[in-house]
Amino acid sequence: MKGFLLKHEKSTRIFHWVNLVVFLLLLCSGLAVFNKNLQFLAMLFGGLKNAAMLHKYLGFSYFIIPLIYIALNFNLFKKFLATISTFDEDDRKWFRVAGGYLAPLVKGDVPSQGKYNAGQKTLGWMVIGFSCVLAASGLVMIFYQSFPPGLVRWMYLVHSLTGVFLGCGIIVHFYLAAVNPSSRGELKTMLGDGYIEEDFARHHNEKWYKEMTAKSK
């Protein structure tokens, strides 16, 4: 496509969709069990009993699905990890100006960014790290009979802490990707056909744009 750059591969987009649905179901059912004021969310599943049951069994797919994706697309995953691992001066500067999203409060020029900006890199690590913690603590919670009660009690606390933090992160992620006018142009790169306008990329991901266009020339 002329004037467009492919940002996310098809397999990545499918994985994102699957993970999106699984995560939302887990978040809603988890919150229903977590806090009595959010118990109305259990109505989505037809009662708290079903919500708990779904949360328990869907939890397994929450870490099996990413493993399948990684196994099938190891090179993409490696590239992703390499991208989010590089953290240069521009990224630090990005944080100082909060990516320009808090424009009237935090002023300053937004430095040029790679394929992902510093915020997205942080979210990437947050999702990976917190998901691992959620999976580990969730396993302890399901098989609580095999662990000492003291450990299981701490896992209850850790599971709810990481779950709520990740939930908050995903709310911001959704907002910036789908609602906020200056950044929502990128929505279709993950949920749609995967392509991004060159103009948008030049503005938001200048380093990546230069890299991509240099390669094609």
* Binding positions for another protein, rule: CB under 8 A: 31, 33-39, 48-49, 51-53, 101-104, 141, 144-145, 149-150, 152-154, 156-157, 160-161, 164-165, 167-168, 171-172, 175, 179-182
Grouping H, G, I as helix, E, B as strand and the rest as coil, residue 180 is coil
Which residue number, 68 or 171, has a Cβ lying nearer to another protein? 171
Which residue number, 111 or 138, has a Cβ lying nearer to another protein? 138
Q: Shortest gap between Cβ of 62 and another protein (angstroms)?
A: 17
Q: Is-contact 41 51, C-beta < 8 A?
A: yes
Query: How many Å apart are CA 74 and CA 12, to the nearest integer?
Result: 11
Which residue number, 77 or 101, has a Cβ lying nearer to another protein? 101
Task: Write the CB contacts of 138 (distance below 8 Å, at least 6 apart in sequence).
Answer: 59, 159
Query: How many Å apart are CA 77 and CA 82, to the nearest integer?
Result: 9
- Evaluated on CA atoms 35, 36, 41, 42, the torsion sign reads positive
Q: Shortest gap between Cβ of 168 and another protein (angstroms)?
A: 4
Q: Shortest gap between Cβ of 155 and another protein (angstroms)?
A: 9
Which residue number, 77 or 174, has a Cβ lying nearer to another protein? 174
Q: Shortest gap between Cβ of 14 and another protein (angstroms)?
A: 27
Beta bridge partners of 6: 195
Query: How many Å apart are CA 29 and CA 21, to the nearest integer?
Result: 12
Task: Write the CB contacts of 206 (distance below 8 Å, at least 6 apart in sequence).
Answer: 112, 113
Which residue number, 6 or 38, has a Cβ lying nearer to another protein? 38
Q: Shortest gap between Cβ of 15 and another protein (angstroms)?
A: 24
Which residue number, 33 or 190, has a Cβ lying nearer to another protein? 33
Q: Is-contact 4 196, C-beta < 8 A?
A: yes
Q: Shortest gap between Cβ of 116 and another protein (angstroms)?
A: 20
